[in-house]
Amino acid sequence: MKHGYLLSVCTFAIIHLGSASENGLARTPQMGWNTWAKFGCGISEETVLSMAKAIVETGLDKFGYQYVVIDDCWHAPSRNQSTGAPLADPTLFPNGIKKLAGDIHGLGLQLGLYSSAGSMTCARRFGSLGYEEIDAETYVSWDIDYLKYDNCYNEGQSGTPLISYNRYKKMFKALNATGRPILYSMCNWGEDQPWNWASTIANSWRISGDLTDNFGRYDDRCPCTSMLDCKLPGFYCSVARIIDFAAPLGSKAGTGGWNDLDILEVITHFSMWSILKSPLLLGNDLTSMSQDTWDIITNDAIIALNQDPVNSAANRVFNRSIEGGGSLSLWVGNLVNGTTVVAIINTSSKHQRLHLSFDEIFIDWLPARTFSYRVFDLWQKTIKAGETLDFSQWTNSTIWGVDLGIRTASLSGIDVGVHATRLFKFVPW
């Protein structure tokens, strides 16, 4: 018997009023693909279109991946000298961005573009600071659906939340004035605590410096141990470091506005990005994926956690230090219909085994400790060992999530490998 004891899902109206969270977009965290991690400045019209086609050909669109985002370096050497409007590089994009957008839309996908709230982008192309209106109008004329808005060369317009808010609000107002809903993805690296103010103007906001392809190594270029008062967000931040940054910020996000943990580069962190309600933007070459990679990024049970309509990020219940370095942490989050997600992450270099009592798991909800739960292991496939399943066989039925049976009072014998995550769904029974 199910117990309806947790959160109810509030209805919402899609309206076009005073904040980005009210533009009808990102009701759940956005999903898609971004050019930067794989291609950097080596992009072209052909590259972008080939990745868009790969999304459809590999069936990723069926799992919710819908945005194709062109990051830095799409720009011509300069703006239009007469109007000040942005121009795309005619060599890289010979048919223009509008034609590319039409091709992307023809595939059933949406196109995103990049700029910076500074005089230049991070790759030293022209930025949008002081050109917000003409840029927003041009993006609309190109049929753009998404804007990633960076923080490079901001001319010192940062240092307090209000200064950063006012700078990013200019583009919000310019986009809003066009009348076209455009997902507004702020990328100010967690500078000036955007989780406290960005939800009134943006659909997502980066919470830290750039992620690097490393699980737990410390790097001086990502010097802060917490983002709550970080003065130098930096870059080369490890997966474990960004998870630590995100731990206290879950309550700051919700429907229409999300903490962004950066592009998915290290596939093994897919679990944590999902339960922390980060946008899921891939950065790999979609035309040459292995079966293992495809299996991971199409785990329907994990994606369902990210897209769950309760829109509540998991909270870290404990973080226990491990002798020799690293830690073992427990994360718990609420899902629709009273279900619960439980994650255990091991950032140490040693295999860990643990026993979890319901007193620990349901520390914030005393009555839940007395219930029985049917538990599902979300990284175990429901198909038979040795079988494979590609997207052409996917019919909205659950591929992942082996039933471990009904548990009462505790979950025992949990093995967590090195730099691994175990993920379970608890359904009241």
CA dihedral 148, 154, 159, 165 (to 10 degrees): -50
- Tell me which DSSP letter residue 233 carries: -
* Cα 253 from Cα 23, distance rounded (Å): 16
pLDDT > 80? residue 424:
yes
Show the tokens assigned to 158. Answer: 């940062």
Nearest one of 314, 286, 280, 262 to 421, comparing CA atoms: 314
pTM: predicted TM-score of the whole model, two decimal places: 0.91
**Which range has highest mean pLDDT (35-44, 208-217, 397-406)?**
35-44
**Domain segments of the chain as ranges:** 31-307, 315-385+397-428
- Homologous superfamily (CATH) for 315-385+397-428: Golgi alpha-mannosidase II (2.60.40.1180)
pLDDT > 70? residue 10:
no
* Cα 200 from Cα 22, distance rounded (Å): 9
Cα 207 to chain centroid distance, Å, stands at 11
For the domain made up of 31-307, the CATH class stated in words is alpha beta
Query: How do residues 178-188 score in pLDDT, each as one tens digit?
Result: 999 999 999 99
Show the tokens assigned to 197. Answer: 């103010």
| Contact call for residues 25 and 147 (beta carbons, < 8 A) | no
Angle at alpha carbon of residue 427, lines to 422 and 429, rounded to 5°: 135
Q: Can 135 be counted among the known catalytic residues? A: no
Angle at alpha carbon of residue 175, lines to 169 and 181, rounded to 5°: 125
Interval 355-381 mean pLDDT = 94
Q: Can 229 be counted among the known catalytic residues? A: no
| Contact call for residues 379 and 423 (beta carbons, < 8 A) | yes
pLDDT > 50? residue 331:
yes
| pLDDT at site 69 | 98
| pLDDT at site 384 | 56
Interval 85-97 mean pLDDT = 98
Interval 96-112 mean pLDDT = 98
User: Which amino acid, one-letter code, is at 255?
Assistant: T
pLDDT > 70? residue 131:
yes
| Contact call for residues 123 and 43 (beta carbons, < 8 A) | no
In Å, how far are 50, 187, 285 from 288, measured between CA atoms? 11, 28, 6
Per mean pLDDT, which range of 304-308, 398-402, 412-416 is the poorest?
A: 398-402
Catalytic residue among 71, 150, 244, 308: 150
Higher pLDDT, 410 or 393: 410
- pLDDT class of 19 with cuts at 50, 70, 90: low
| pLDDT at site 241 | 93
| pLDDT at site 382 | 81
Q: What is the DSSP string of 81-136?
A: TTT----B-TTTSTTHHHHHHHHHHHTT-EEEEEEESSSB-TTSSB--TT-HHHHH
Query: How do residues 27-64 score in pLDDT, each as one tens digit?
Result: 999 999 999 999 999 999 999 999 999 999 999 999 99
Q: What are phi and psi of 43, to 5 degrees?
A: -110, 165
Please give the mean pLDDT across all residues of the chain. Answer: 90
**Which range has highest mean pLDDT (134-143, 215-224, 359-368)?**
134-143
Show the tokens assigned to 34. Answer: 């971004």
- pLDDT class of 6 with cuts at 50, 70, 90: very low
| pLDDT at site 266 | 58
- pLDDT class of 403 with cuts at 50, 70, 90: very high
Helix (H) or strand (E) holding 288: none
Catalytic residue among 71, 72, 210, 244: 210
| Contact call for residues 43 and 278 (beta carbons, < 8 A) | no
Interval 186-213 mean pLDDT = 96
| pLDDT at site 15 | 30
| pLDDT at site 21 | 59
Higher pLDDT, 283 or 13: 283
User: Which amino acid, one-letter code, is at 1?
Assistant: M
Per mean pLDDT, which range of 128-132, 289-293, 402-406 is the poorest?
A: 289-293
| pLDDT at site 264 | 87
- Tell me which DSSP letter residue 337 carries: G
